[in-house]
Amino acid sequence: MDQQDLQKKADRLSCAGQRGWLTRFGIFFESEETPVVRIIGLELGDHERAALQWLETNRPDLLLLLENIRESKGYECWEDTDEKDVIKSFMFKHGFIRIAPDEWNDI
């Protein structure tokens, strides 16, 4: 899929109320909605958790790279990266699009 087709698919998914990630190949994987009330630093948001789970299953090579980045930044565990956009920035850099019904996606 080219970038324009990906953006159209991302917009359709967002408008349909979906949330999750879209790979650069057009594969969508879902995440749950992050609770409105949560303690930052004790748990990751659901987009971040879904990203880690998908990488573990489908792209362990990318997960290893992300783990190396986390460690190089001095974070001991994933929860330490909460609100730091480490996972989200990594996903964007590798061509993933974040899908959420309350966001407009810009590529």
* pLDDT (tens digit per residue) in 20-51: 999 999 999 999 887 676 666 678 989 999 99
Instruction: Name the residue type at position 100.
Output: A
Q: Is residue 34 situated within a structural domain?
A: no
Residue 107 is assigned to a structural domain of this protein: no
CA 72, 76, 44, 24: dihedral to nearest 10 degrees? 30
- C-alpha closest to that of 78 among 47, 99, 100: 47
Inform me whether the pLDDT recorded for 6 exceeds 90. yes
**Location of structure tokens 């966001």:** 103
Mean pLDDT, residues 99-103 taken together: 81
Task: Quote the number of domains for the chain.
Answer: 1
> Does the pLDDT at position 19 exceed 80?
yes
Q: Residue 107 — pLDDT band, cuts 50, 70, 90?
A: very low
| Residue 23 maps to a domain | yes
Contact 80, 69 (CB under 8 A): no
Q: pTM for this structure?
A: 0.87
Q: Is residue 104 situated within a structural domain?
A: no
Q: Which domain holds residue 57?
A: 15-28+48-96
The span from the first CA to the last CA of the chain, in angstroms, equals 14
**How many C-beta atoms lie closer than 10 Å to residue 78's C-beta?**
17
